[in-house]
Amino acid sequence: MPEQVFAYDQLLAFTKNVFHNIGCPPQQADTAARVLLSADMRGVDSHGVARLSGYVRLWEVKRVNAIPDIKIIHESPSTAVVDGDSGLGLVVAPYAMNVAIEKAKQAGTGWVSVQNSNHFGIAACHAMMALDNDMIGIAMTNASPLVAPTFSIDKMLGTNPICVAVPAGTEPPFVADLATTTAANGKLEILQRKSQPTPSGWVQDKDGQPSTDPHILKQGGALLPLGGDREHGSHKGYALGAVVDIFSALLSGANYAPWVPPFPAYVPMPSQQPGKGIGHFFGAMRIDAFRTADDFKEHMDNWIKGFRNARTSDPSLNVLIPGDPEREMETYRGQHGIPLLQSVVDDLDKLAGNMGLDRLSNS
């Protein structure tokens, strides 16, 4: 499928204009655009500007508040619950992560659970905020129910990602950012655009039978937990997704399990709403609350180098440290631009036309 390549600054200006057009204050529009584009820069194309029109559609049906009053509604010296006031998760999440970091500065660690939010982009963008403070960052979120637990045909959980970002010294940071499913839903969307099948073990049909149809969710099918089936450990992926749901929603008062609001605006809201909006969870751990930061980072470098030097079964392959591919992609796209599928460009141009903004392909 044909692609067009755009400079980061060009996409940033376009995205900020869209968010500003729906009423976001300038600083929040800038934050939302940078969080969204962090996905494209890191090669997570499923969560970048390809989703921009989806956020706008949520605003159009009044599920996103463009001018939220984000606030702490409960706290202790090291914990807090934040109410996102139905704001863009792209804005609510950085606010909450900053609360966790400030708590950690005072108490050693900071833990924040969030209610009443929306889709927050990629988890890594938020977890990595802790790195410059010599802290370990943790970010997770629940999501709309697309995942069937092991042995089930009912969709009970979201892709529920987890990210842990750990600073190092001379080595790049360790950044493990993963869905608790075999693949994120956005990967299915990419395969749909490319008219390609899914790998085996990603999805099942409405009867619980294996499928490779990327459209199967629209036919009552479901994503599978990490592992794919019980023999390959799907019960572990299911357990991880459940932990994310509990930390993100049951601690905060957000919706959970099959009652999490869907991302597509055309999908009806669940009839039962046990909480408010989507839930997130963030953590920040000050390194020097455990040992001196310099000592830790020296040993983290040693840890990373040890894994990089591990022998491989294929001499042409290297052992990767979590975060390596995304960091390398960020460097490459910073130099060469961000490629967008033509279908994504067409969607963004249509969005701009509807808003009376300059088209992306003509700017």
pLDDT at position 202: 94
CB-CB contact of 352 with 359 (8 Å): yes
Structure confidence at residue 188 (pLDDT): 86
At 363, the pLDDT band (50, 70, 90 cuts) reads low
Please write the tens of the pLDDT for every residue from 170-192.
Answer: 999 999 999 999 987 778 888 98
pTM of the predicted model, to two decimals?
A: 0.95
Dist. CA 166–CA 182, nearest whole Å:
24
Listing DSSP states for 90-114 in one string gives HHHHHHHHHHHHHHHHHHSEEEEEE
**Are 175 and 165 within 8 A, CB to CB?**
yes
The pLDDT, as a whole number, for residue 208 is 95
Whether 15 contacts 33, CB under 8 Å: yes
- CA nearest neighbour of 56 among 360, 348, 359: 348
Highest average pLDDT, of 182-191, 210-219, 294-303, comes from: 294-303
Report residue 193's pLDDT band, with 50, 70 and 90 as the boundaries: confident
Q: What integer is the mean pLDDT of 294-314?
A: 97
Q: Does position 212 have pLDDT exceeding 60, yes or no?
A: yes
Read off the pLDDT of each residue in 130-145 and give the average, rounded to a whole number: 97
Helices 8-21 and 52-60, packing angle to 10 deg: 0
pLDDT of residue 35: 98
pLDDT averaged over every residue in the chain: 96
Candidates 71, 67, 89; CA nearest to 80 is 71
Q: Tens digit of pLDDT for each residue in 5-60?
A: 999 999 999 999 999 999 999 999 999 999 999 999 999 998 999 999 999 999 99
What average pLDDT does range 100-120 have in this prediction? 98
Work out the percent of the chain whose per-residue pLDDT is above 90: 91
Tokens of 70: 């984000």
Q: Give the angle 17-21-26 at the CA atoms, nearest 5°.
A: 65
Confidence band (pLDDT; 50, 70, 90) for 1? low
pLDDT at 203: 95
CA-based max dimension of the chain: 57
> For 251-297, how does the pLDDT look when each residue is reduced to its tens digit (9 = 90+)?
999 999 999 999 988 888 998 899 999 999 999 999 999 999 999 99
Flag whether pLDDT at 331 surpasses 60: yes
Burial 90-120 (b: 16+ CB within 10 A, else e): bbbbbbbbbbbbebbeebbbbbbbbbbbbbb
For residue 2, pLDDT over 90 is answered with no
Check residue 183 and give its pLDDT.
84
In this structure, are residues 210 and 201 in contact, taking their beta carbons and an 8 Å threshold?
yes
E runs forming strands in the chain: 3-6, 71-75, 79-83, 109-117, 135-141, 162-166, 174-178, 203-204, 210-211, 222-223, 278-286, 338-341
In which band, very low, low, confident or very high, does the pLDDT at 362 lie, cut at 50, 70 and 90? low
Q: Is 213 exposed, middle or buried (0-12, 13-18, 19+ CB in 10 A)?
A: middle
Local structure of residue 288 (DSSP, 8 states): G
**Both ends of the chain: CA-CA distance in Å?**
22
The full 3-state SS of 294-359, as one line of letters, equals HHHHHHHHHHHHHHHCCCCCCCCCCCCCCCHHHHHHHHHHHHHCEEEEHHHHHHHHHHHHHHCCCC
Quickly count: other Cβ atoms within 10 Å of residue 320's Cβ.
11
- Mean per-residue pLDDT, 241-256: 98
| pLDDT reading at 215 higher than 70 | yes
